Homo-oligomer: A and B are copies of this chain.
Amino acid sequence: MAQAIRETIEQYVELMTTGPAPKLAALYAPDAVVEDPIGSEPRRGAAIEELYAALDVMEQRKAELHTARVNGTHAAFWFTLVTEVNGHRMTLSAIDVMEFDDEGRIVSMRAYWDPAELQFEPI
């Protein structure tokens, strides 16, 4: 199980680079709940795919997985996503916490990052 979860996390971060949004959404169980960023209104169903569709308009996306911890059906990992948007380079670095079901699908995701700390620099 741990190995399958680890591979899903690697795939998740890879898909943040490549998209498309439906492939990211497909990693979730149908009844999954997403809180991104932590403390925001929880998203379910189509609202989860919308979160990733926002990525698809960004250019030069490059996501990197720094570290991941997996225990049972629980996981936490740190990644950084760099994209280009409106002539600026945007850097988002978050710690995501996930829980998985017995089939290895994500049932919950909470993303720890502060929108106030998004970095923008002119390209």
Q: List A residues at the B interface (Cβ < 8 Å).
A: 2, 37-39, 66-67, 69-78, 93-95, 97, 112-114
Which chain B residues border A75 with CB–CB below 8 Å? 112
Q: How many copies does the complex hold?
A: 2
A71 close to B113 (CB less than 8 A): yes
A-B CB contact pairs (8 Å), 22 listed:
A37-B71, A38-B74, A39-B72, A39-B73, A39-B74, A67-B78, A67-B93, A69-B93, A69-B95, A69-B112, A70-B114, A71-B113, A74-B112, A76-B76, A76-B95, A76-B97, A76-B112, A78-B78, A78-B95, A95-B97, A97-B97, A97-B112
When chains A and B are docked, how far (Å) is the Cα of A94 from the Cα of B75? 11
Task: Look across to chain B and name the residue whose beta carbon is closest to the beta carbon of A80.
Answer: B67
Nearest chain B residue, comparing its CB with the CB of A94: B69
Secondary structure class of chain A's binding surface, majority of residues: strand
Kindly list chain B residues whose C-beta atoms are within 8 Å of the C-beta of A77: 95
Closest CB in chain B relative to A77 CB, distance in Å = 7
For A2, what are the chain B residues with a Cβ–Cβ distance below 8 Å? 114
* Minimum C-beta distance from A24 to chain B (A): 21
Contact A112:B71 (CB < 8 A) given known A76-B97, A77-B95, A97-B97: yes
